[in-house]
Amino acid sequence: MTLVERPDGPLLAYYYHPRSFATLSLTRALRGRATPLWLVDSTHPDTGSMTRLLARSGPVVDLAGLDVEAASTLVEQYRPDGILTLADTYLVRTADLARRLGLPFHSPDVARTLTDKLRQRAAFEAAGLAVPRRCVIDTRNLDESDLARVGFPAVVKPRVGEASRFTEPVSSVDELRGRLEQFSAEGASGEFVLESYIPDASADRAGKGFAGYVSVESVVVDGSPCHIAVTGRTPPAWPFRETGFFIPAELSDEDERAVLDAAGRAIRAIGVDRACTHTEVKLTPSGPVVIEVNGRIGGGVPEMVERALRRDYLGAAMELALGVNPALMEMASPEGLAYLLYVHAPQDVQLLAGVEGLDDLGAVDGVGQIMLNRSLGDVLHWSDGNHGHVYSVAGSTDSHDGLRRILKAVDELVTIVGG
């Protein structure tokens, strides 16, 4: 094996995805911990333009078109001390590389379970967790006996997917057929799963005006999860697009204990050994039901953890990858409330002609940052999922009522104009 010159000090191989965490956030978290070895796939349409920026902070290795053996041989020349990705798309590939390189990360089997909704449900069920009825769908020939076993209402979703893309509620076989035809026309591929709809808890169970599901942010060391925060949600846009997150959630003590217990059992059921996780849990009349465990940090969560808890969650993920046990290992008392909102266009707006009122919104107390995510002239469609939001709003406030005030300001002050 040919060795190449590498920077002094720890080197963290990071599999970069342009739609995951921002480069500036990554380099800031790495500062004082390690130099990045950027692993990229130049076939991704948005990666090429970022390569020059990435190269300012560390070596860049293009793995496009390489199988795992060739990719690991190339990466091994740099002798990295750890490996990490925060993109579901690269989770399995990073796990395969980690195994070949002898570096701590998810095992390939765990990574496949984390990215496969059917495998996750099977792991949960084997561990005694409540799970919805489910079946794999053959899009060419629907098995009516399987559909009858699952029943309606139900949710159809890709077996492997992210950001709520191609995930919709369906109320009948005919509606399911129509949705699958629509997905195919819009470029969806791969297997789909049909799941029985997880019942909703009573209104305002997770706080007045808030959604009835939360996420648990955890640090896992030697298979033992340590929960650091519970993140609340604002009601999703149709069909299941995220609209807002906030720390801390507004749960009763009893519900918080039950949610944390369910998240811990789910993480252990999958076999996560050393990683940060993001576990979505829905409140139901019969108790919490785990929606899914993500084997990486959730988008926007590190910034909220930093503002509300004064903790470095992104840095903790990097320390885990480098074999260091982070100091951030328990729930902390929040210092106010931190939030991130994704604002989507109304369904009748299909072409973005403008966004009016952002200056007024920026003057509202507690609004720290507004970022446009789409450009004028962009075609808008709900099937873009969470990534299709028009703009985001981030900031801090003193309470859940303070967040409700900001949500009201978003509704009243800003208009998304269609063309």
Kindly report the CATH number assigned to the domain that includes residue 174.
3.30.1490.20
pLDDT at 2: 67
In degrees, rounded to 5, the angle at the alpha carbon of residue 326 between the alpha carbons of residues 324 and 329 is 145
Q: Are residues 149 and 220 in the same domain?
A: no
Residues 380 and 324 in one domain: yes
- Residue 208 covered by a domain: no
The CATH number of the domain holding residue 389 is 3.30.470.20
CA distance 375 to 414: 16
Name 6's Cβ contacts closer than 8 Å, sequence gap at least 6. Answer: 37, 59, 78, 79
* One pLDDT digit (tens) per residue for the chain, 419 residues: 667 777 789 999 999 998 889 999 999 999 999 999 999 999 988 787 788 889 999 999 999 999 999 999 999 999 999 999 999 999 999 999 999 999 999 999 999 999 999 999 999 999 999 999 999 998 777 888 999 999 999 999 999 977 667 899 999 999 999 999 888 888 787 889 999 999 999 999 999 999 999 999 999 999 999 999 999 999 999 889 999 999 999 999 999 999 999 999 999 999 999 999 999 999 999 999 999 999 999 999 999 999 999 999 999 999 999 999 998 777 888 999 999 999 999 989 999 999 999 999 999 999 999 999 999 999 998 878 888 999 999 999 999 999 999 999 999 999 999 98
Same domain, residue pair 168 and 274:
no
The reply to whether 305 and 350 lie within a common domain is: yes
Do the domain assignments include residue 111? no
Beta bridge partners of 392: 342, 371
What is the per-residue pLDDT for 50? 84
Does any domain span residue 218?
yes
Residue 246 contacts residue 218 (beta carbons within 8 Å)? no
User: Does residue 117 form part of some domain?
Assistant: no
* H, E, C per residue of the chain: CCCCCCCCCCEEEEECCCCCCCHHHHHHHHCCCCEEEEEECCCCCCCHHHHHHHCCCCCEEECCCCCHHHHHHHHHCCCCCEEEECCHHHHHHHHHHHHHHCCCCCCHHHHHHHCCHHHHHHHHHHCCCCCCCEEEECCCCCCHHHHHHHCCCEEEEECCCCCCCCCEEECCHHHHHHHHHHHHHCCCCCCEEEEECCCCCCCCCCCCCCCCEEEEEEEEECCEEEEEEEEEECCCECCCECCEEEECCCCCHHHHHHHHHHHHHHHHHHCCCCEEEEEEEECCCCCCEEEEEECCCCCCHHHHHHHHHCCCHHHHHHHHHCCCCCCCCCCCCCCCEEEEEEECCCCCCCEEEEEECHHHHHCCCCEEEEEECCCCCCECCHHHHHHHCCEEEEEEECCHHHHHHHHHHHHHHCEEEEC
Q: Count of CB atoms within 10 A of residue 375's CB?
A: 8
Residue 20 lies in a domain: yes
Q: Quick one: 229 and 361 in the same domain?
A: yes
Q: What is the pLDDT of residue 396?
A: 98
Co-location of 176 and 217 in the same domain: no
Domain boundaries, position 308: 213-418
230 falls within a domain: yes
C-alpha span between 57 and 30 (Å, rounded): 10
| CA neighbor of 217 nearest in space, from 228, 206, 225 | 228
Our count of domains for the chain comes to 3
Evaluated on CA atoms 356, 362, 367, 370, the torsion sign reads positive
> Among the three residues 196, 227, 242, which one is the final residue of a domain in this structure?
196
**Spatial distance between the Cα atoms of 314 and 28, rounded to a whole number of angstroms:** 10
Question: Is it true that the peptide bond before 285 is cis, omega within 30 degrees of 0?
Answer: no
First and final CA of the chain: distance in angstroms? 58
Task: Identify whether 205 is part of a domain.
Answer: no
- Specify whether 178 is located in the same domain as 218: no
On whether the CB atoms of residues 389 and 343 are closer than 8 A, the answer is: yes
Q: In what order do the strands lie in the sheet with 275-282?
A: 289-294, 275-282, 213-221, 224-233, 244-247, 337-343, 391-397, 367-372
Q: Which residue has the tokens 């609340």?
A: 232
296 and 384 together in one domain? yes
Judge if 256 and 397 occupy the same domain. Answer: yes
Question: Distance between CA 182 and CA 176 in Å, rounded?
Answer: 10
Of residues 217, 127, 117, the one with CA closest to residue 161: 117
Tell me: do 225 and 370 sit in the same domain: yes
Is the same domain home to 191 and 239?
no
In this structure, are 56 and 191 located in the same domain? Answer: no
Residue 45's pLDDT is 80
In a domain, 24, yes or no: yes
Locate tokens 């002798």: which residue? Answer: 79
Token output for 326: 């982070």
